[in-house]
A and B are shown apart, each in its own frame.
Chain A
Amino acid sequence: MRASGKLLWAYAACFYSLLYLPILVLIVLSFNDAPAIGFPIQGLTTRWYADALAGGQVMQALGNSLSIGIASAALGTLLALATALGLRRSPRWRGVMLPLLLVPIITPGIVSGVLMLVFAGMIGLPYGLWTTAFPAHVTWVLPFAFLTLHPRIEQLDRALEEAAMDLGARPRQVLSHVVLPVLQPALIATVLFSFTVSFDEFVRTLFVIGGARTMPVQLWISLQQHAGPFIPAMGVVIMLISMLVAALGFFISHHASARSLQPQS
């Protein structure tokens, strides 16, 4: 037992080192004062960050990513919340809704991109950030928002709602004064996770965004054009934004679940 425990620790050390090595390499290279991406390290500079964010195109891509991320996180979470609350009240619809919610998850990314491309092309929907990329993002975000919210909503103590109703609250009041306040941390965490799901999305976006760009699409185009040594810096910016937002969501939901598990006396 002892020996196998030590082996597992050693294995975990290797695993985590390999997991973080590429991220470390990316960060180191983003500061490397060399004309080409790669080793050795020739000096430290922050100019690649200035280069990566220079030009209206990148700032516009960043703006697009932030706005489509916020909008699809909001709508995706709202739809997921309504669905999860609805299924809690009438479980007989689960058999229909759960498979429907799984469709975007099991559809491979490239196929999802192609589906939206062909669909929009055939019904005459113009390609663009809000016309086609936004629906694609909401469709992608919705199942993840649901899977994040669903366990929390199932755990919700029915006695709370029954008590409120016994005290004369109407269904709408129960929702706004009891259910939503209890769910608030879970909802905030879901919005934050959903934002990163949208912010990181690439392949579904690439096919339908037309002439517009999000940050990952901008990075992809820079990679295809071998645009220059600023690429690692651009990667670090994209990575930091989504990691920070997701970490915030993790701490909010972890904190909330730790609190709700404490014995109430």
Chain B
Amino acid sequence: MTARSAARSFGAELLPILPGGLWLLVFAVVPFFFLIVMSLWTATVFGIEPEWTLESYRTVFADPVYVLIVLKTLRISLVSTVISLLVSYPLAMFLARMQGRAKAMFLFALFLPFWSSYLVRSFTWLPILGRNGLINHALISAGVMSAPIDALLFDEFAVYVGLVYVYTLFMTLPIYLSLDRLDPALGEAASDLGGRPVQVFRRVTLPLSLPGVWSGCTMVFLLSVGAYVTPSLLGGTSGIMVGNVIAGQFLESNNWPLGAALSVLVIGMVIVSVTLAGMRVGLRQLFLGQGR
């Protein structure tokens, strides 16, 4: 092959993937450099000055207000991930056992709510958990209580309810896919050899579904770490997460460098969690549900 025809075939290979690749490079990758630059600029009362400083990072890592909010975000995200896992695993098992038309219907019914805006799905918990919401109304009508309680809304509890409700599909789906791939004969063989159902689950089903568990946990953790809508609608002042603080820097206090530094920190947490999970199951499994 001559150099010229090699170059031509190289160009022909590159041509179809170039538009998508360039688009992502310009709008998804390059902005990170701008974000990092912004996080290193100086915020003054008069606005943003293009002078290099580490002040914003010093604030993020030394000011207890920001340290605590980051730790709290990590805690809320971890707890939401664990709750999602516990809620989703049995359903994934149920779906994996279904067959034919019934399976397709249950899968469709699982997907349907997730095809609508998470803003709407977060908001609906206000008239369920609120003062004149469904739960208070039901408990009072049933005579369980005489006055409505406020404890259900505008705290961490409401944030957990919202996050788990909004993001559970991202846990159920990968676990279901990994369980669905399992050969039912494996479980049967294990029980034929005398394994009790609990043993079969612990020694056979669970270990083989771990790749799905890891990708589900990673997705829900990522989505929770960056949550903004759910904590602002349901969390009140005690349920605030780092997303709310970042938004505040841009929409209210106009301290872009500090908001950028907090965003860089969130990206750092995302990279660490994706790397840790990726080392266990491989990136392709994590996001595409395929083997290594």
Contact = CB atoms under 8 A, between A and B. Distances in A.
Contact of A108 (B111, B121, B132, B222): B222
Contact of A119 (B30, B125, B288): B30
Interface in B11-70: 13-17, 19-21, 23-25, 27-32, 34-35, 37-38
Contacts of A4: 197
A86 B28 contact: no
Contacts of B93: 8
Contact of B16 (A36, A86, A138, A223): A86
A21 B263 CA distance: 35
Interface residues of B, number: 84
Interface in A201-241: 202-203, 207, 216, 219-220, 223, 231-232, 235, 238-239
A110 B270 contact: no
B27 A136 contact: yes
Interface stretch (A49-57, A92-100, A157-165): A92-100
Interface in A3-28: 4-5, 8-9, 11-12, 15-16, 18-23, 25-26
A235 B123 CA distance: 9
Given A12-B94, A23-B113, A36-B132, A254 B17 contact: no
A119 B34 contact: yes
A147 B222 CA distance: 19
B108 to A, nearest CB: 6
Contact of A107 (B90, B136, B251, B270): B270
B203 to A, nearest CB: 16
A64 interface: no
A102 interface: yes
Interface string B214-252: 000000001101111100010000000001001100110
Contacts of B266: 108, 110-111
A8 B270 CA distance: 34
Interface residues of A, number: 86
Closest 8 CB pairs of A and B: A108-B226, A86-B16, A38-B132, A246-B115, A39-B137, A119-B31, A86-B17, A22-B124
Interface of B: 13-17, 19-21, 23-25, 27-32, 34-35, 37-38, 87, 90-91, 93-94, 97, 104, 106, 108-113, 115-121, 123-128, 130-134, 136-137, 141, 165, 191, 197, 222-223, 225-229, 233, 243, 246-247, 250-251, 256, 259-260, 263, 266-267, 270, 274, 283-284, 287-288
22 contacts: A19-B113, A25-B128, A26-B120, A39-B132, A83-B16, A85-B16, A86-B15, A86-B17, A90-B17, A100-B21, A100-B24, A101-B20, A104-B28, A105-B287, A114-B259, A122-B38, A147-B288, A199-B117, A200-B118, A202-B229, A223-B233, A239-B117
Interface of A: 1, 4-5, 8-9, 11-12, 15-16, 18-23, 25-26, 29, 36-40, 79-80, 82-83, 85-87, 89-90, 93, 96-111, 114-119, 121-123, 135-136, 138-139, 142, 146-147, 196, 199-200, 202-203, 207, 216, 219-220, 223, 231-232, 235, 238-239, 242-243, 246-247, 250, 254
